[in-house]
């Protein structure tokens, strides 16, 4: 894989809302991270009888394997190309891990949504967090695969091009934006879109537009899925009108959606 995104990848990000980077970090780092995560699940990796829940949510992770995985040269170059040099904050925590296990039970968290990026009236209630047209607080949505993920292994579902629909929904709400729940409840009114699932080898990273609609799903495979979904935090909000017209791909996608 090239150290830099090519023209086709940039075009795909603007129009489809995501790109997939294989080998964005090493399988060795993925294995080291999994060893830490397995201990915290309380499950035995060699005994499926101990995998009694469809999903276990683990807390924030900032140990060396996680930080190294999030800060490879390939990823930093991609952040610069998509978000702009100096406009993003290096990822120093992998955030929450929803570890998904093979199970016939409904995990209860498979609804379509867009990740919120700044707090509402009650910062402790994530359902009240908000998203606005300038993507305050968030530069990208990222999906880090720390295990091999096949189609049966509960890969994240992504609605191709939905970032354009969401931008049009957010624009009338201005700087206040919409709450996580208000936006999630409105996604069913948007146009039907094709879907793609975030599969790949451990070390794969999906970089997504912050407005992309996505959803979890049940695990019907054989091995647990280890995936992190940290935000790439932003140093400044999107600039949708400026004199130099040097818009980033994240901004270009929003401007196309709004016919600017």
Question: DSSP state, 155?
Answer: P
Q: H/E element holding 73?
A: helix 73-83
In a domain, residue 234? The reply is yes
In a domain, residue 5? The reply is no
In a domain, residue 49? The reply is yes
Three-state DSSP state, 45:
coil
> For position 110, what pLDDT does the model report?
84
> For position 1, what pLDDT does the model report?
52
User: How far is the C-alpha of 198 from the C-alpha of 14, rounded, in Å?
Assistant: 18
Per-residue pLDDT of the chain (260 residues; tens, 9 = 90+): 567 999 999 999 999 999 999 999 999 999 999 999 999 999 999 999 999 999 999 988 999 999 999 999 999 999 999 999 999 999 999 888 999 999 998 888 888 999 999 988 888 888 889 999 999 999 999 999 999 999 999 999 999 999 999 999 999 999 999 999 999 999 999 999 999 999 999 999 999 999 999 999 999 999 999 999 999 999 999 999 988 889 999 999 999 999 98
> For position 237, what pLDDT does the model report?
95
> For position 106, what pLDDT does the model report?
86
Tokens found for residue 65: 């394997």
> For position 245, what pLDDT does the model report?
85
**Domain ranges, residue 37:** 11-257
In a domain, residue 134? The reply is yes
> For position 126, what pLDDT does the model report?
80
CATH classification of the domain holding 51: 2.60.120.620
User: How far is the C-alpha of 103 from the C-alpha of 82, rounded, in Å?
Assistant: 37
Specify whether the CB–CB gap between 134 and 240 falls below 8 A. yes
> For position 107, what pLDDT does the model report?
87
In a domain, residue 116? The reply is yes
Q: Using alpha carbons, select from 258, 151, 169, 166 the residue that is nearest to residue 214.
A: 166
> For position 2, what pLDDT does the model report?
60
* Structural domains counted in the chain: 1
In a domain, residue 135? The reply is yes
Q: Using alpha carbons, select from 148, 151, 156 the residue that is nearest to residue 224.
A: 148
User: How far is the C-alpha of 243 from the C-alpha of 119, rounded, in Å?
Assistant: 31
In a domain, residue 233? The reply is yes
> For position 260, what pLDDT does the model report?
85
In a domain, residue 3? The reply is no
């Amino acid at each position: 894989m090239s150290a830099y995104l090519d023209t086709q990848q940039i075009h795909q990000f603007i129009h489809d809302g995501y790109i997939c980077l294989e080998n964005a970090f090493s399988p060795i780092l993925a294995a080291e991270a999994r060893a830490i995560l397995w201990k915290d699940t309380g499950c035995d990796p060699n005994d499926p009888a101990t995998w009694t829940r469809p999903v276990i949510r683990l807390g924030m992770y900032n140990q060396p394997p996680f930080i190294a995985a999030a800060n490879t040269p390939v990823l930093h170059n991609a952040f610069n190309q998509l978000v702009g040099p100096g406009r993003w904050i290096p990822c120093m925590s992998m955030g929450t891990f929803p570890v998904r296990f093979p199970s016939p039970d409904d995990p209860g968290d498979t609804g379509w949504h867009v990740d919120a990026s700044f707090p509402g009236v009650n910062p402790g209630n994530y359902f009240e967090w908000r998203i606005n047209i300038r993507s305050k607080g968030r530069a990208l949505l990222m999906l880090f695969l720390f295990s091999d993920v096949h189609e049966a292994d509960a890969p994240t579902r992504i609605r191709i091009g939905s970032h354009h629909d969401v931008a049009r929904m957010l624009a009338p709400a201005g700087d206040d934006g919409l709450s996580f729940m208000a936006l999630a409840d409105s996604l069913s009114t948007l146009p039907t879109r094709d879907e793609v699932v975030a599969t790949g080898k451990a070390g794969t990273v999906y970089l997504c537009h912050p407005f992309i609609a996505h959803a979890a799903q049940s695990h019907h495979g054989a091995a647990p899925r280890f995936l992190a979904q940290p935000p790439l935090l932003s140093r400044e909000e999107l600039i949708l009108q400026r004199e130099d017209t040097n818009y980033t791909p994240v901004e270009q996608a929003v401007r196309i959606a709004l016919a600017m």
